[in-house]
Amino acid sequence: MNSVNVSAVRSVRAALFAMFALTSAVAFAGECPANFLHKLQVLEGEMKRMSGRAAEAAATHARAGETARQYGYVHIEGIAAMLESRALVAAGRPADAERAAARADDAFQRWGAASLVRETAASAMKTSSASVI
């Protein structure tokens, strides 16, 4: 009887979906960077994080946050800063992670998402002593 590793199947499916999303985002960002470039950068950052390149992921998420802010996407600015903070924790840079979390909180506050501000703060507290995201 064959045994199927459900976790492995899910991981492969997630990777395939991420590659499809990244390919689509590249095309969309090329056509309309104001609407899609920051989203592409978030996806690129997550692909780097998933491949264990936390410092590169953090830098990519920082660029995504700057791009989102430039084009007025406050919610993506907050998400990018939150993901940057998590990547910085994984890269062993807790002080930088705290600053990124503060930027995420600021963006979420400006967006009117007070519950996300509290969630970001709680997440930073939990991950500040963790070595893996």
Question: What CATH number does residue 101 fall under?
Answer: 1.25.40
Share of the chain above pLDDT 90, in %: 55
Q: Is residue 14 assigned to a domain? A: yes
What would the pLDDT profile of 20-40 be if each residue is shown by its tens digit?
Answer: 777 777 777 878 888 889 999
Q: Answer whether residue 54 is part of any domain.
A: yes
Contact between 78 and 116 (Cβ < 8 Å):
yes
Instruction: Flag whether 44 is in a domain.
Output: yes
Tens digit of each residue's pLDDT (9 = 90 or more) over 1-22: 456 677 777 777 777 777 777 7
Tokens at residue 38, please?
């920051």
SS3 4: coil
Residue 25, token pair as written in the block: 């985002």
Task: Look at residue 1 and tell me if it is in a domain.
Answer: no
Predicted local confidence at residue 89, as pLDDT: 94
Which residue range is the domain that position 44 belongs to? 6-127
How many distinct structural domains can be found in the chain?
1
Contacts of 40 (CB under 8 A, 6+ apart): 22, 25, 26, 28, 29
Note whether residue 132 is domain-resident.
no
Q: What is the pTM of this model?
A: 0.76
Pairwise pLDDT comparison (96 vs 113), residue with the higher score: 96
